[in-house]
């Protein structure tokens, strides 16, 4: 597929993108003029509460829907005037999707193998090539042993592994993942993120992932925050001014972390053996869900810094909506 390699031209170019839905006689504006770019091979997390517009943005980039206004390009494809067959081809070959709802990703009556071969069949690939590629992909996602099982015979995490293989069937450049681990337990969620990070390197994918989980967003190179259809600060800015203490002892927090404390009139600071805990003062003693535990950045497997949250951070985020 198209190529921006080395040219410096972004792979995704999103300018002033607006998405409005007509509902009866009024409009819901889901995206209010979004601007961002992504380089080929980049992985970006888009974080925001439910209703922020994350799925709307992914749908536009996946060619499932058309922007109301603005400019949107992925590779050499202009997503505003993509019609009919060209749109279908874009969806089939250039983009792979992984959805949160496990049963949206797979057909329950087909085996894992036959789920993976389906998009290749639609793309006109011969039987032998389909089967070979499907086996290679199932191997890459650690599901070779389960190739002949149907989705209901697999765990949620295993089904999402197969879903990733399906998404990559036709060698897409772009992987769009909408809360891909939202229906999974923590351990499976982390395993799927490890897998995505691994496949990204292996296949040179460009990845945009929606999530409301900051811990999972840390697998990305950068995090964009979306709220009420508008992008907030790009957290790469936080890289330039890393969290830490300034000379007067004030703590600099990255914006996404600060968002967790924004509603608090006062913040209690506790020194604990494992680090420093910041908590909105109104929270009860044992309610540490979602609170920042330790101001020192840690590193994940990919060498990225992250700011750890207690389990249940997403529940707190819901509470902020």
Point out which residues bind ligand ADP (CB under 6 A): 21, 23, 28, 30, 48, 50-56
In 3D space, the residue among 71, 67, 73 whose CA is nearest the CA of residue 40 turns out to be 73
Round to whole Å and give the CA distance between 284 and 308.
20
In 3D space, the residue among 211, 218, 146 whose CA is nearest the CA of residue 183 turns out to be 211
Rounded to a whole number of angstroms, the minimum distance from the CB of residue 54 to ligand ADP is: 3
Rounded to a whole number of angstroms, the minimum distance from the CB of residue 24 to ligand ADP is: 10
Residue located via tokens 């209901």: 152
* Distinct helix (H) and strand (E) counts, the chain: 11, 16
Task: Rank residues 65 and 194 by Cβ distance to ligand ADP and give the closer one.
Answer: 65
Rounded to a whole number of angstroms, the minimum distance from the CB of residue 233 to ligand ADP is: 17
Separation of first and last alpha carbons in the chain: 40
Rounded to a whole number of angstroms, the minimum distance from the CB of residue 56 to ligand ADP is: 3
Task: Rank residues 97 and 154 by Cβ distance to ligand ADP and give the closer one.
Answer: 97
**Burial of 7: CB neighbours in 10 Å, binned 0-12, 13-18, 19+:** exposed
**Cβ atoms of 199 and 205 closer than 8 Å:** yes
Task: Rank residues 18 and 251 by Cβ distance to ligand ADP and give the closer one.
Answer: 18
Rounded to a whole number of angstroms, the minimum distance from the CB of residue 48 to ligand ADP is: 5
> In the chain, what is the greatest distance between 2 CA atoms, to the nearest angstrom?
67
**Burial of 150: CB neighbours in 10 Å, binned 0-12, 13-18, 19+:** middle
Rounded to a whole number of angstroms, the minimum distance from the CB of residue 255 to ligand ADP is: 17
Look at strands 206-211 and 43-47 and give their pairing.
parallel
Round to whole Å and give the CA distance between 306 and 219.
9
Task: Rank residues 49 and 308 by Cβ distance to ligand ADP and give the closer one.
Answer: 49
Task: Rank residues 39 and 68 by Cβ distance to ligand ADP and give the closer one.
Answer: 68
Task: Rank residues 52 and 61 by Cβ distance to ligand ADP and give the closer one.
Answer: 52
Residue located via tokens 């020194």: 271
| Residue 71: alpha-carbon gap to chain centroid | 21
Tokens of 99: 């959805």
β strands within 169-242, DSSP E: 174-178, 206-211, 222-227, 230-234
Task: Rank residues 142 and 232 by Cβ distance to ligand ADP and give the closer one.
Answer: 232
Task: Rank residues 58 and 168 by Cβ distance to ligand ADP and give the closer one.
Answer: 58
Rounded to a whole number of angstroms, the minimum distance from the CB of residue 79 to ligand ADP is: 16
Rounded to a whole number of angstroms, the minimum distance from the CB of residue 301 to ligand ADP is: 27
């Amino acid at each position: 597929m198209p190529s921006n390699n080395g040219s410096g031209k972004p792979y995704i170019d999103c300018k002033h993108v607006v998405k409005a839905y007509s509902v009866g006689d009024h409009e819901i504006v889901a995206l209010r003029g979004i601007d961002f770019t992504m380089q080929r091979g980049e992985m970006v997390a888009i974080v925001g509460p439910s209703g922020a517009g994350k799925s709307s943005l992914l749908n536009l980039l996946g060619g499932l829907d058309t922007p109301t206004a603005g400019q949107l390009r992925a590779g050499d494809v202009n997503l505003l005037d993509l019609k009919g067959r060209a749109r279908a081809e874009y969806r089939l070959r250039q983009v792979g999707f992984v959805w949160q709802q496990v049963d949206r990703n797979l057909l329950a009556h087909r085996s894992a193998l036959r789920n993976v071969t389906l998009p290749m069949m639609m793309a006109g690939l011969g039987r032998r090539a389909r089967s070979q590629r499907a086996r290679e992909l199932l191997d890459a996602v650690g599901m070779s042993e389960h190739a002949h099982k149907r989705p209901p015979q697999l765990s949620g995490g295993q089904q999402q592994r197969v879903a990733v293989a399906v998404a990559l069937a036709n060698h897409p450049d772009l992987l769009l993942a909408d809360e891909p681990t939202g229906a999974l337990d923590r351990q499976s969620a982390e395993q799927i993120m490890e897998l995505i990070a691994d496949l990204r390197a292996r296949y040179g994918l460009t990845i945009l992932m929606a999530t409301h989980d900051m811990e999972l967003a840390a697998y990305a190179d950068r995090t964009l925050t979306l709220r009420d259809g508008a992008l907030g600060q790009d957290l790469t800015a936080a890289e330039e001014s890393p969290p830490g203490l300034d000379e007067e002892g004030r703590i600099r927090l990255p914006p996404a972390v600060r968002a967790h404390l924004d509603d608090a009139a006062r913040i209690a600071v506790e020194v604990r053996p494992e680090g420093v805990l910041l908590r909105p003062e109104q929270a009860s003693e044992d309610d540490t869900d979602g609170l920042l535990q330790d101001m020192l950045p840690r590193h994940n497997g990919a060498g990225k810094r992250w700011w750890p949250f207690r389990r249940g951070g997403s529940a707190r985020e819901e509470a902020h909506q």
